[in-house]
Every structure is written in structure tokens, then in C-alpha cells.
Structure 1
Amino acid sequence: MRPIPHKALGAGALTVAAVAALVLPGTPAAAGPAAAAACNPAQVVANGGFESGTSPWTASSSTVITSRSGQSAHGGGSYAWLDGVGSTRTDSLAQSVTIPSGCATATLSFWLHIDTAETTSSTAYDKLTAKLGGTTLATYSNLDENTGYVKKTVDVSSFAGQTVNLSFTGTEDSSLQTSFVLDDIALDTADGTTPPSTDPTRTPATPSYTVNLSSDTSGTVWTGHESVTFTNASATALGEVYLRLWDNYHGSCDAMPVRVGNVTGGTAGALSVACTALKVDLPAPLAPGQSATIGFDLGITVPSGADRFGHDGAFSFLGNALPVLAVRDGAGWHLDPYTNNGESFYSLAADFKVTLDHPSSLLVPATGTSTDTPGSSGRTVTTATASKVRDFAWAAGPFTKISGTSATGVAVNVYSVSGISSTSAQSMLSTAKSAVDAHAARFGAYPYGELDAVIDNNYWFGGMEYPGFVLDLVSTTALTHEIAHQWWYGIVGDDEYNSPWLDEAFTDYATDLAQGKTGTGCWNSVSWASSAEKITNSMAYWDAHSSRYSTVVYGYGKCALHDLRRVLGDTAMAKLLKDYAGAHWYGVSTTAEFKAAAQAATSTDLTSFWTQHRIEN
């Protein structure tokens, strides 16, 4: 997404013309009897992410479990905040846990953020103690201050077969605050042959979505059915999956724009993360390498507003409208909140077959390759198929369409709303054709068959990327940027919430190259706002410092890549990026992996380079 500085649209500016439907659990087929096992690997902490209220936690104060401003969650919207008042105080948080017998390993993990006003580098004035029963597992203090969350793990295998109290106690002295912020607490057990759910393998993998939707006469209301088949790629049994209903951000839990009901293949649990996450418990734990399918009825109502999910008069834009599977990896389930400042989206490459039944008066550009067939009287059925994409988006309206083919054979379509001149549309078509070929020459051939660009000068943002489908203003730079996202986010994926620089900085760098810009001297204008500001900060940080997001992630990020090119040399840098894209084709990039690849491309020690440019793992 290419933001427009100082221009944002909050969710309150949108209206939702829908009455929310209840999320109704389906009735899964009865599971057969499970074979007896000495240990059933499990996660035994309840509500460890604090997204389901306070139960079963016992807290010293009603303010300990919170979603108030001042701190932020590691995942979701709620967290536990102990101390942080700058006066004598003791806060505590506890719940009883049962660690099953017969399990060879038990591992407690939690994410901890500490910030402090203490200035000492030697005295632990304020402390957090983690205990299991009467045993102290770990102690932290103001000396352990960190700028973000850090994952802590403790081996608690010796407690197998016991029911004990898991507790965290924070103590603060009479002056200078220290805040101990906890989130995503888990206690995983395993049988010794399979790892706990901290398995770094990303799962559920190879999703295949089948969607059938029909619209009303305006294209703003869509109803039908969606199903997804997936495989457990990890070495740990999968007891549940989560669906991300991202666009419920644009409504409320009382009036959800995206409604799911009649779930089959699992049992729907409670909605969480401001109704953008739906847990679906599987009938039985899904063993490694096994596949399953869940299905559900789906209703979508597009709110008013020229947004990535919204309608601008007769023109509807449906980005992130389809529920998609959340990812579980070494950090657990990624249930990050929606951000309107950038992107929260983290998903694995998937196949989609989407059938959209709509009035023939509406054109429907979409992700993938589309074919139109006659439907019932006055209606058309658009069938879009896409392979190895991370999401699916579409639009509907009385667009004006022009088409062309790039020099390398990529079909490009430009769909314009009313008010976009034919000259502007032709300019955008020319830009799209040249940009897709320029990026392909640098990073690898464009694999998605066709590319649709939907142009509307009323978007509050500069542009927004989806696989094979972009939303854009009339802007050569913005469109070149969004098309570069086909490689950096689309083909080479990343966790956009926790590592936004991996797509935005790389995309802005690619845009510079496509436009013949070399970034000479750009690092000379860098001025950091604080010691905590880093190119590699997550969206949790940037949502709290939104005025700096574009400057640092886009601007400083691409300058850092220009500087890296000057260290490596043009040829070596070009080879690095093309090889790196190839090695992560349809996969997921991380900062650590990119730094390792860059270091392997040069004999120069890059340690000081990363430090100077504030690029941390």
C-alpha cells in the first residue's frame, strides 16, 4: 500500500448497511474413537492472548487485563499490563493449569515487553516474577527494558501430572515507573517425539479455496458459500484453525460487514480481535501431513467509502473481503489486529476458484484469470481462478475497461470509474505494461497471467495491492509501486504486520529502479525521531507513531537498499535480489534470511551497515 501522508480515514467514517448475522457453529461429523496414547500434546493455558475477557485469569486489579492505550498487544487487541504507575504497587495475574502426565516435555512461553523510566544500569528497582506453584521460574526487572516484545520460554517438564498455579507478579517501588506487559501466554506439552506448537513450520499449508457468491443489483451485497481445504504441514497436531474476517474492522461486532454461519468440518468458536478472527475447532486433532476441509455460508455487505473495502457510489471494491486462514508458526497463531495505517495481512500461497454471479451491467475485475458466461436473465457469471496467491480481491461496477498486452505478453486491463479521462486511463495502461515488464526483468517472470488495475481518484490512499489486482489513483509512481508488490508481498511473501519493511521498502526500491532513480545521497537526509525508531519495527510501533511510518519504512527503507547496492555493487545487488526472490518464490521472507543472503553476497562484513541503518532481526 502506498499511503498519502497526513490523510487517513477511520472506520467511523464508514457506514455499514447490514444487519449482523450470528456466527452459527455447524454440526461436524462424529469423530471415531481415538487411539489411546501416553501423551496427547496440548496447550493448557486458557485465554493466553486475553482476547476472551478475563476468565479464567485472576488479576489483582480490573486494569491488569486491558486494551487501553499506552501499551499495545503482541497479537490481537488485549494484553496484561502490570505496574507502570511510578509509585509503590504490586500487580498480579494467575490461573490454575493442569499439565498432563505421560508427556516428556512441557514448555511455558510468553511474550514480554518492558519499558521503564528508571535511569540506572545496575539496580533492579522494579521486578516481575513468573512462578509455577511455589517455584520461581524467572525474574525480570527494569534492567531488562526492551523496545518491543521478546519471547520468553521456560522448561517446566518436571511439573508433568500436576495441577499448579501459574502466576506473574510485578512489584514497583515508590518512584519512576516500569511497565511489565505480557501477551500470548502458552504452556505446550509434547510426547518427546513431536515438538510443541512452537514448531516454526508455517501451517495450515497449501490452502485451496472454492467460493460461490451472488450479488444484489448494485454489487454491494454478496451471499453464498466458501470452503477451504488445507494440510497440516507442521510436525505438531493441529486442533483448530482461525479464519481472518479482516473487513469486520470496517463495521462493528454488532453490525459485521462479513458474516459467517453454518460452519461444517469443525465447530465455530467465539469471534475475537474485534470480530476479525474466528476460531474453528476441528473434530479431532489433524495429524502432520493430513488434510481437512471446512465450509461455511458467507455474507458480505460493502460499506460506503472509496476504500480498499468500500463503495464509491456505483463502484464497489472488495479487498480482503473473503475469509482466509490465519498462519501458525514458531510464534504461535498470528492474530494481529487490523491496521488502517498499512497492512496486517500474513497468509500462505493458496489456490482460489471464485464464482461471482452478478448483474450483466456490472464489470467484475478480479484476482486471477477470469471468464464470463451468461447467467440467468440479465446476469453474468464471472469465474476467476488463481494459483499460488495470498489473497483474492475483486471489484464491481459500471467501469470503463481498456486492455493491452505488455512487450513480454502479460495481459493488462485498466478499469476506470466515471470521471477518469480516457487520456488518464491510457496513461495508466502504458505505465502498467512497462512496469510489469521492468519488475519481471529484475526479479523473475510475472506468473499470474493477467493484471487488473482499478483506477479511482477518490481513494483516500495512494494505492493498494492484491495478487494480479491493484487499486490506484492516476499516478505513474503509485501504480509502478503497487505493481512491484506483485513480487514483494505477492510472490515473495512476508508477515506484513510484524515486518512491513520487507514489502514496502523493497517495493519502493523497485519503483526507483523502474523509474531510473538511484537514491544518491538519500541517506544524508535521515533524521531519527528516537532511539526506538527502526526501519524494521512492526505495525504495532507504527500505529503508535503513524506520522513517521511512510518516512521511515518507505523512505529510509529504500535508501538503505540503495546504500546496500553501493556496498555490494550494482551487479551483485541485482543478482542478490533476483536469487533471493527465486529462493522465496511463493514462500515467506524474513529479515534474518535477507540479511544472511546479503552477507553471503559480499566479503565485506555488513554488521556495521545493519546497525547504522537500524535493520534488526
Structure 2
Amino acid sequence: MYGKELFQGVCYVSGEKMKIRFLFFLFGLSILLIGCSGRGETAVFPTPATPATLPTPDILPPTLFPVAWQDRSPFAAGLIAEARPVLDTLPQFPVYHLVFTLNDTLTAVDGQMQLYYTNLENKTLDVLYFHLFPNLLGGKIEVTKTQENGQPVTAVLQSEQNSILKIPLKKPLQPSQSTIISLHFSTQIPLTTGRNYGVFANVNDILALAHFYPQIAVFDEHEGWNIAPPAPAGDVVYADTAFYLVQVTAPKEATIVTSGIETARTETAETHTLTIVAGPMRDFYLAASPRFIRHTKTLNQTTIHSYAPPELEDGAKAALTTAATSLNIFNTRFQTPYPYTEFDIVTTATTALGIEYPGIIALTENIYNPNTSYIPGLPNTILLESTTVHEVAHQWFYGLVGNDQLDEPWLDESLTQYATLLYYQDRYGTDGAQGFRSSLENRWARTNYANIPIGLPVSAYADNEYGAIVYGRGPLFFERLAEVIGEDTFDRFLQQYIRQFAWQTATTDTLKQLAENNCGCDLTPLFREWVFPHESELPDS
């Protein structure tokens, strides 16, 4: 995510020299949503180890799609060649089958869902939990006809605003065993932007449909089920990687943009029905509008689309160019390429500057007009570029390498901000990097450079601390880490971090351990200074 904040920049070309000056100021508003040397070896996409053979109890075969639960072949078309081998190694990941209809006004969803779920923990599970995020985000979701393996089960609503659905299992689910949950759901979509930056709303004739379906919660070995509601600011969801087969029917005049790729389409006089395959991904997102116009570029095996109303064409084209440039820079730097054959950009009425989803990003329409300034004194051209780059970088940090975005937001947001700094270094040189670095320092200055740890949960930060610390101080930690262990070692560590945790979930401890393995040094004092809570008495490595 990337949030609204004040900084301004001037860029001009003189002869063969480009001089870039950035003056960065802080916008005293809430939070952001955005929410070289040492290159590695030839890029090889990471392939997780093949899991042990899973038991095959009697489970319900799929009824919404004629595709076996462990058949990964439909997803190959959505992955670049280097990424496709991963499909043979992830039979245990959740599989969502979603079939739903959007009403004529794009304000309601009526659908069915089946979930193939495998117990990947070392303990037996007797209950599953699902997030019902619309009940927190100004809308409403109702679930009916819940079944496990074709047999009715009684689901229980609980937590804040009935935002958690508890489904007791008929039989305890042993480690490595699988089950099928089936249900119907109806979702009402708000017409105003509410909490968490309007990620779920239909405003200005543009539908932003995030988190609209029941989403299985994450079970952690040490924490158990992650079912605490998200803070009003920051990201909403912490999710495991999954696969999605989706069929959506919508009014024919509405352009539909989603995670994944479209594989089939049928039409009637009034509607069109799209079949979508998406995965491996951590979430499924959809945007729709009768006003969308599409602009397209191609980068290697990936087609990039940018969607916006016609009056925002200049901004849509600028975001498209920046996305292509940043994808190219990050492909080279990280040595693990963007894995999908499609990348989409949509503009919505979000009150953030930008929000990341797997394979798709949403940017606020307020920054698309290049002739105006959403933030006084700051040209929209500068704001649109930095926001786009930040959200593109999230495709590696959050999308590919997952983390608990509620409890450890620094692992994706601080690292994504650091990646944005690398973009300015690679594209504009030292002056460009220094300009963006100034904006990070100015963010931190919002708290008078307070020595607040960057590794806290979102809910632990007060007032404007979250933006100042996680987005300002956090990326400066990674810069300091690179200084301590050396640029070449840091580049090797970061490339290995992506390869090792691709499609998985990283933690503060695993990142620290991997960095120490690469430098052969003890980084505990540095992490105590920057990352760990002050009261932590973690032992030295």
C-alpha cells in the first residue's frame, strides 16, 4: 500500500545530463497505503521442494468446474515459462472455485464457492475459520448452505461485526489430509469509501471488489488461527498462497479486470461471462467499470494492461510506462522474474495512493491528471511514478514472498520502499536516489526521528507512527543493513530471500537468519537497534 503524503520533485534534461532534484515534505495526514552492483547469477525461478505424498480420503469432487482438485494444468497459461515448474510442486495449496454474478448496478454479488483445503500443520484441526471482510468494510456478506464434503454443517458467526465464520469439521482433519468446504454467499457493496481506504466500494462508477468472498484464515503453528480483525489503517488480509478458478457474470457494458488471466468468454444480449484462472496467488481481486479504456505494453513474456476512464488517458499511459520500466528493473535486480503472463493496473476511488494485489494494482484516480496536483505543490507526475513503482515492487514482497501484513508489515512495506529507492537509483542515478531517500527521512521526521522499532504490528503504532516508521525508517534499515554486510553480500542475500521464500511465508526471524548466513556475522545488535521491540530480550545468535 502507499498513502497520501506530500513531496515534490523537478526533473529536467540538459544536453546529455539529467539533473533530478526532489524536495520532499510530509503530509500531516494519516497513513499511507502504498500501501547496480552485485548482480546474481542467471535468473532461475524458484521451485519449492516436492511435498510428501498426501493421503487420499474420500472427498467431494469439484462440482463448479470440471477440473480435478489437484490438476494444475489450467494455471500454466498464466505463468511465464520459468515459473511453470512450480505447478508440479504445490498440490497441497488451497484451491478456490468461485462462480458468481454481479448485478446490473455492480453493487451486489451472488455466488457459490468450493474450497479444497489441506491441513499443512503438525496438529489435528477440528475447525476451519473464514474471514468475512465485507462485514468490516462497510458492506455485508451472508453465507448459507455450508457443507463439508457434501454434508451440511452448522457455521457460526463470531468476532467484530460477524467478520469471522467458524465451520466445525465433521471429523478431525489429520496432518496432510484434505477436505472440501462448499457454500453460497451474497455480498452487498458500499457506495462510499470507508475504512481501510475504500478497497471495497463502488464509487464514481468504478467497482473495487477486494475481499468480497469468504477467505480461509491462516493457521500458524505457534499462533494458531489468525482471526483477529485488521486495524482500520494498513492492509486487510494475511493469506496463504492458493489457486483460483473463477467464473464471473456481469453486465455486458462493464469491463472486468481481475487477478490472473481470462481463458474463456461467452455473451448474451445483456451479460458476458468470463472464466478466469489465477494462481498461485494470495488473493483474488476484481475491478469493473463501463468507463474503462485499456492501454497495453508487452515486456518479455508479460502483457501489461492499464485501465482508466478516457479523461484519465494520460495518467493511464504514464502508469503503464512506469510499470514496464520498474518490472524490468526488478526482474534484473532480484534475479527472480515477475512470474505471471499478465500484469494489470486499474484506477479506482481509493483514498490511498495505491494498493497491491497479486498480478494487479489499484491506483487512486486523484493522481492521474498530469496537469494538476492532488497534493499541493507536488506534480501528479511525480506522485504517480513513485506510487506505481511501490505497488509493482509488492509483486515480489507480499505477492511472491508472503508475510503477516498485520503483525509484521515491515517485511513487505519497508522492503518495498527500499526497492523503490533502488528503482530511482537505477533509473535516475545518484541524484534520483538521494531525492527519494530524502522523502524517507522526511517521513521518519514526522516523529522527530523517534527510535521506534520498525517490526511492530500495525495496531501497535499510534497516530502517524505507522507511516513514519514502517515507510520511512524501515527502508533506511535495509540501506543500513547493506552498509553493514556489504552491497554485494546484501544483493546476494535479497536474491536468495526471494528464491527461498517464493510462494511461502517469511518472518522477521527467517529474514534475519538468512542475512546472517550470507554475511557470516551476528546481526542481533543491528536488529535490536532498528527492528525488535525495545522490551524484547531475544538471545544473541
Matching of residue 513 in structure 1 with residue 422 in structure 2: yes
For the structure 1 residues 236 and 614, does the alpha-carbon distance in structure 2 shift closer, same or farther, using more than 3 Å as the test? closer
Matching of residue 321 in structure 1 with residue 208 in structure 2: no
Q: Aligned partners of 1:401 and 1:522: how far apart in 2?
A: 33
Q: Aligned partners of 2:296 and 2:439: how far apart in 1?
A: 36
Deviations 1:68-93 (A, max 9, x none): xxxxxxxxxxxxxxxxxxxxxxxxxx
Q: CA deviation at 1:403?
A: 3.5
Matching of residue 308 in structure 1 with residue 199 in structure 2: yes
For the structure 1 residues 603 and 250, does the alpha-carbon distance in structure 2 shift closer, same or farther, using more than 3 Å as the test? closer
Match of 2:112 in 1: 225
Letter in 1 for 2:160: V
Matching of residue 539 in structure 1 with residue 458 in structure 2: yes
Match of 1:87 in 2: none
Residue pair 1:223, 1:298 contacting (<8 A) in 2 also: yes
Q: CA deviation at 1:424?
A: 1.6
SS at match of 1:365: strand
For the structure 1 residues 8 and 358, does the alpha-carbon distance in structure 2 shift closer, same or farther, using more than 3 Å as the test? farther
Deviations 1:44-101 (A, max 9, x none): xxxxxxxxxxxxxxxxxxxxxxxxxxxxxxxxxxxxxxxxxxxxxxxxxxxxxxxxxx
Matching of residue 375 in structure 1 with residue 284 in structure 2: no
What does 1:572-583 align with in structure 2 at a 5 Å threshold? 572-583=489-500
SS at match of 1:339: coil
Q: Aligned partners of 1:405 and 1:232: how far apart in 2?
A: 41
Q: Aligned partners of 2:243 and 2:531: how far apart in 1?
A: 37
Residue pair 2:120, 2:175 contacting (<8 A) in 1 also: yes
For the structure 1 residues 367 and 476, does the alpha-carbon distance in structure 2 shift closer, same or farther, using more than 3 Å as the test? same
Q: RMSD over aligned Cα, in angstroms?
A: 2.5
Greater Rg by CA: 1
Residue pair 2:292, 2:309 contacting (<8 A) in 1 also: yes
SS at match of 1:546: coil
Deviations 1:150-173 (A, max 9, x none): xxxxxxxxxxxxxxxxxxxxxxxx
Letter in 2 for 1:238: L
Q: Aligned partners of 2:483 and 2:451: how far apart in 1?
A: 26
- The structure where helix makes up a greater share of residues is 2
Residue pair 1:399, 1:417 contacting (<8 A) in 2 also: yes
SS at match of 1:553: helix
Letter in 2 for 1:284: K
Residue pair 1:369, 1:386 contacting (<8 A) in 2 also: yes
For the structure 1 residues 392 and 587, does the alpha-carbon distance in structure 2 shift closer, same or farther, using more than 3 Å as the test? same
Provide TM-score, normalisation by structure 2. Answer: 0.73
Q: Aligned partners of 2:314 and 2:519: how far apart in 1?
A: 46
More off after superposition, 365-374 vs 514-523: 514-523
For the structure 1 residues 532 and 555, does the alpha-carbon distance in structure 2 shift closer, same or farther, using more than 3 Å as the test? closer
Match of 1:17 in 2: none
What does 1:547-586 align with in structure 2 at a 5 Å threshold? 547-586=464-503
Which of 210, 214, 234 in structure 1 is aligned with 2:121? Answer: 234
Counting aligned pairs with the same residue, the percent is: 26
For the structure 1 residues 267 and 546, does the alpha-carbon distance in structure 2 shift closer, same or farther, using more than 3 Å as the test? same
Q: CA deviation at 1:425?
A: 1.4
Letter in 1 for 2:524: T
Matching of residue 4 in structure 1 with residue 4 in structure 2: yes
SS at match of 2:136: helix
Letter in 2 for 1:240: V
Q: Aligned partners of 1:614 and 1:521: how far apart in 2?
A: 21
Q: CA deviation at 1:418?
A: 5.3
Letter in 1 for 2:141: V
What does 1:170-249 align with in structure 2 at a 5 Å threshold? 206-249=93-136
SS at match of 1:592: helix
Which of 173, 186, 206 in structure 2 is aligned with 1:286? Answer: 173
Residue pair 1:246, 1:338 contacting (<8 A) in 2 also: no
Match of 1:439 in 2: 330
SS at match of 2:259: coil
- The structure where strand makes up a greater share of residues is 1
For the structure 1 residues 205 and 550, does the alpha-carbon distance in structure 2 shift closer, same or farther, using more than 3 Å as the test? farther
Q: CA deviation at 1:522?
A: 8.4
Residue pair 1:363, 1:397 contacting (<8 A) in 2 also: yes
Q: CA deviation at 1:246?
A: 1.4
Q: Aligned partners of 1:537 and 1:292: how far apart in 2?
A: 35
SS at match of 1:267: coil
Deviations 1:113-143 (A, max 9, x none): xxxxxxxxxxxxxxxxxxxxxxxxxxxxxxx
Deviations 1:286-327 (A, max 9, x none): 111111011111112210125210011321100111211001
Give the unaligned 5+ runs of structure 2: 6-27, 32-57, 60-90, 369-383, 426-432
What does 1:122-137 align with in structure 2 at a 5 Å threshold? none
For the structure 1 residues 363 and 521, does the alpha-carbon distance in structure 2 shift closer, same or farther, using more than 3 Å as the test? closer
Aligned residues: 417
SS at match of 1:432: helix
Letter in 1 for 2:122: A
Q: CA deviation at 1:441?
A: 2.0
Match of 2:405 in 1: 496
Residue pair 1:205, 1:348 contacting (<8 A) in 2 also: no
For the structure 1 residues 555 and 513, does the alpha-carbon distance in structure 2 shift closer, same or farther, using more than 3 Å as the test? same
Letter in 2 for 1:492: V
SS at match of 1:385: strand
Indicate the structure whose relative CO is greater, using CA pairs within 8 Å and at least 6 residues apart: 2
SS at match of 2:234: coil
Provide TM-score, normalisation by structure 1. Answer: 0.64
Match of 2:281 in 1: 389
Residue pair 1:209, 1:352 contacting (<8 A) in 2 also: yes
Match of 2:356 in 1: 465
For the structure 1 residues 515 and 365, does the alpha-carbon distance in structure 2 shift closer, same or farther, using more than 3 Å as the test? same
SS at match of 2:519: coil
Q: Aligned partners of 1:344 and 1:364: how far apart in 2?
A: 23
For the structure 1 residues 524 and 247, does the alpha-carbon distance in structure 2 shift closer, same or farther, using more than 3 Å as the test? closer
Matching of residue 482 in structure 1 with residue 391 in structure 2: yes
For the structure 1 residues 2 and 345, does the alpha-carbon distance in structure 2 shift closer, same or farther, using more than 3 Å as the test? same
Displaced runs of 4 or more, over 4 A? 5-9, 518-532
Letter in 2 for 1:258: I
Q: CA deviation at 1:530?
A: 9.8
Deviations 1:208-238 (A, max 9, x none): 0000011111222110201101111122111
Q: Aligned partners of 1:318 and 1:348: how far apart in 2?
A: 19
Match of 2:53 in 1: none
Residue pair 1:268, 1:281 contacting (<8 A) in 2 also: yes
Letter in 1 for 2:475: K
Q: Aligned partners of 2:440 and 2:110: how far apart in 1?
A: 50
Q: Aligned partners of 2:234 and 2:187: how far apart in 1?
A: 22
Q: Aligned partners of 1:463 and 1:531: how far apart in 2?
A: 26
More off after superposition, 384-393 vs 595-604: 595-604
Match of 1:606 in 2: 523
SS at match of 1:364: strand
